[in-house]
């Protein structure tokens, strides 16, 4: 029997999920992999909660994990990019394999950590989409394919908020408060609703499937706070749902990489991924279209991915088998890097909600302003005014147009006297 001694850094929700799955399914894991995972030490900067450590030693110093000669494998489940990064660096330098769920560390330091022996020693399936085996799928199951595009709902908080706004007609602020009460959003939710969490995850997918290089700065990033109930209602009227997407596309000019809200046709698979679920749709030359969906967060869901990596590393350590995540690494030649298309050059159709004064000729002035930039209208909604001095929304769907052209047109429109407040622009998902 092969026994791998495990040290766990952190004792939060995911770490407790790992302990529970080992307790419950340890024999099943051994049956399937030939490996028994034995937790011998848990280290957390916080005092030990009332958690059964299954006989493992507990300490408040992370250094104990590095100094414990009995430990074969470290699970880094702290989060953040401070002490967690330091722990991963030191473990890899010692030749100790590491499994991490830390998307922030990978997005910012992936090139460094996966250089040299890091390719063999570091795994991070849980960093992107919880229980969904998307990294194994890209690096293994789809390894023979050239990826054309990837579209992902990779932040459950944003997906929950949009779903509740649509289903219940509840404003953004109230739904966000509900999400916080349920534990789906942090007390400071900016990491999720500003798109940073999704951007970290997309950076990892971009590196593994398209560019071979981790570069968060290559992404265009937008959050969801500017989307209102009115936008969700108008989108539905036009036959769309609004989702917060991570988008990667191979084009003739290079690779597009962006995170933002987008209109998705109601009959599309991604449009029907609800609640806090995640989903990633990949289009490739050999396999065609594939959709991966499942819980993107939660203790046991994330623990499932962590333990999958732990077992793969254990097999690799004992038999030399298992997947190896390959990227360009820290020493990649910039001349060989894939071109990232600047957001200004990205082409997409657009949804515009233009709050205007209730007066004759407004629609004609709006369309005239757009025509100056050769932007045509594919669909329009203009409801009758409800009376009083309230602005009237003109909603337009444009043809596909370059971002820089759309931005110039929006600046022109926003400067018109007839526009009563800020224009809302949302892009239509590619292929919609």
CA distance 204 to 211: 10
107's CB contacts (< 8 A; 6+ apart) are 199, 200, 201, 203, 204, 214, 216
Q: Pairing mode, if any, of strands 98-100 and 122-123?
A: parallel
62 phi-psi bin (left φ>0, alpha ψ -120 to 50, beta other): alpha
Q: What are the residue numbers of the active site?
A: 201
Q: What's the alpha-carbon Rg for the chain, to the nearest Å?
A: 24
CA distance 245 to 428: 11
Instruction: With CA atoms as reference, report the closest residue to 278 among 106, 132, 430, 107.
Output: 132
HEC profile of 231-266: HHHHHHHCCEEEEEEEEEEEECCEEEEEEEEEEEEC
Residue pair 105/88 in contact by the 8 Å Cβ criterion: yes
207's CB contacts (< 8 A; 6+ apart) are 110, 213, 214, 215, 327, 328
CA distance 126 to 307: 9
The vertex-276 CA angle with 273 and 279, nearest 5°, equals 45
Token pair recorded at residue 186 = 């942090």
Q: Given the structure tokens 């706004």, which residue do they identify?
A: 165
CA distance 303 to 185: 19
Backbone angles phi, psi at 157, to 5 degrees: -65, -50
Q: Which helix (H) or strand (E) segment is 366 a member of?
A: helix 362-371
Instruction: With CA atoms as reference, report the closest residue to 380 among 351, 404, 345.
Output: 351
């Amino acid at each position: 029997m092969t026994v791998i001694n495990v040290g766990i850094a952190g004792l939060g929700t995911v770490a407790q999920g790992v302990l529970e799955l080992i307790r419950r399914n340890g024999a099943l894991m051994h049956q399937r992999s030939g490996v028994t995972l034995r937790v011998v030490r848990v280290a957390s900067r916080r005092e030990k909660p009332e958690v059964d450590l299954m006989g493992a030693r507990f300490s408040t110093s992370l250094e104990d994990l590095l100094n414990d000669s009995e430990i074969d494998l470290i699970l880094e489940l702290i989060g953040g990019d401070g002490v967690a990064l330091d722990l991963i660096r030191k473990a890899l330098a010692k030749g100790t394999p590491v499994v991490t769920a830390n998307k922030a560390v990978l997005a910012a330091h992936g090139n460094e950590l996966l250089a040299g022996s890091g390719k063999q020693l570091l795994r991070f399936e849980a960093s992107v989409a919880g229980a969904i085996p998307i990294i194994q799928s890209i690096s293994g199951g789809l390894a023979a394919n050239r990826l054309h595009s990837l579209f992902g709902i990779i932040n459950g908080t944003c997906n929950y908020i949009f779903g509740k706004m649509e289903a219940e007609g509840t404003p953004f602020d109230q739904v966000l408060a509900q999400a916080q009460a349920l534990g789906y959003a942090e007390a400071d939710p900016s990491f999720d609703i500003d798109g940073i969490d999704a951007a970290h995850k997309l950076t990892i997918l971009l590196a593994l499937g398209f560019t071979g290089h981790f570069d968060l700065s290559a992404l265009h990033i937008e959050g969801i706070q500017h989307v209102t109930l009115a936008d969700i209602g108008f989108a539905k009227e036009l036959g769309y749902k609004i989702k917060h997407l991570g988008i990667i596309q191979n084009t003739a000019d290079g690779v597009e990489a962006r995170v933002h809200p987008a209109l998705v046709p109601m009959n599309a698979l991604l449009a029907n991924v609800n609640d806090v679920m995640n989903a990633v749709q990949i289009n490739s030359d050999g396999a065609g279209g594939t959709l991966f969906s499942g819980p993107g967060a939660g203790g046991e869901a994330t623990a499932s991915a962590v333990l999958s990596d732990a077992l793969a590393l254990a097999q690799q350590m004992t038999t030399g088998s298992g997947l190896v995540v390959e990227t360009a690494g820290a020493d990649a030649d910039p001349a060989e890097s894939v071109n990232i298309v600047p957001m200004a050059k990205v082409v997409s159709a657009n949804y515009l909600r233009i709050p205007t004064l209730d007066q004759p000729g407004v629609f004609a002035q709006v369309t005239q302003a757009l025509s100056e930039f050769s932007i045509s209208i594919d669909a329009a909604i203009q409801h009758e005014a409800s009376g009083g001095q309230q602005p009237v929304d003109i909603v337009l769907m444009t043809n596909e147009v370059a971002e820089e052209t759309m931005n110039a047109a929006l600046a022109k429109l926003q400067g018109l006297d007839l526009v009563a407040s800020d224009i809302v622009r949302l892009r239509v998902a590619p292929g919609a």
